Amino acid sequence: FHWNALFIGTMHFMDAYNYDLSRVQRCCIHYTTPDGRLIPFCTYNSGPTYREQVWRAFAQPKEDG
């Protein structure tokens, strides 16, 4: 069964200087990691913490060919 839907998500910009935990708890956009964790978009992109951890843990070298 298929729905034709468009999700438009908006959010306030957050970085390490204006990180707001209550906003993160209400976040409706998430990244899923290969090991099954859900990480809110704002948390994943607001600093070098989650993004770099996920990259280091799951990155695969590109094969030439």
Q: Kindly tell me if the per-residue pLDDT of 12 is higher than 80.
A: no
Residue 8 lies in a domain: no
Residue 7 lies in a domain: no
What is the structure's pLDDT at 36? 92
Residue 10 lies in a domain: no
What is the structure's pLDDT at 31? 87
Note down the domain range covering 38.
21-58
For the stretch 16-61, pLDDT in tens is 788 888 888 888 888 898 999 998 888 887 766 788 888 889 988 8
d(CA 14, CA 32): 20
- Number of domains the chain contains: 1
pTM reported for the whole predicted model: 0.64
